Amino acid sequence: MVKITFIDPDGKKHEVEAEEGTTLMEAAIRNMVPGIDADCGGACACATCHVYVDPAWAERLPHLLQRSETEEDMLDFAFDVRENSRLSCQIKITADMDGLVVHVPQQQG
Ligand code: FES
């Protein structure tokens, strides 16, 4: 299992255990992390699973910032998109992400 920490806009931490091969979005939904809606169920078609990759982790694992063209297009519909924005349904969890920190935006969509 891989430990992931979601930090909400108020700074509250939600630590979850996730299985390798699942997605960050699935980990959030299974653990009822507030602020991740995931309306389309992971089809990269809603932008309501938006998160910010923690800068320290983006530096450590630069591939965490690599978005597909479809994801780029969907992010146009997200609120307050930044350089480290990702759709969490598009991030597959791997062992090297143990301890990963991501931030939940103020609002989705
Ligand atoms: S769950 Fe819809 S884009 Fe990620």
pLDDT category at 109 given cuts 50, 70, 90 is: confident
Q: Are strands 2-7 and 13-18 parallel, antiparallel or unpaired?
A: antiparallel
Q: Which domains does the chain have, with CATH numbers?
A: 2-103 (3.10.20.30)
Verify whether ligand 1 is closer than 6 Å to residue 58 (CB atom): no
In this predicted structure, the answer to whether residue 74 has a pLDDT above a threshold of 90 is yes
Verify whether ligand 1 is closer than 6 Å to residue 77 (CB atom): no
The rounded radius of gyration (Å) of the Cα atoms in the chain is 12
CA of 82 to the centre of ligand 1 (A): 17
The average pLDDT across 60-72 equals 97
Residue 103's beta-bridge partner residues? Answer: 7, 52
pLDDT category at 78 given cuts 50, 70, 90 is: very high
Residue 74 near residue 45 (C-beta atoms within 8 A): yes
- Output the pLDDT for position 95: 97
Give every CB contact of residue 68 below 8 A, 6+ residues apart in sequence: 44, 90
Verify whether ligand 1 is closer than 6 Å to residue 38 (CB atom): yes
The average pLDDT across 66-94 equals 97
pTM: 0.96
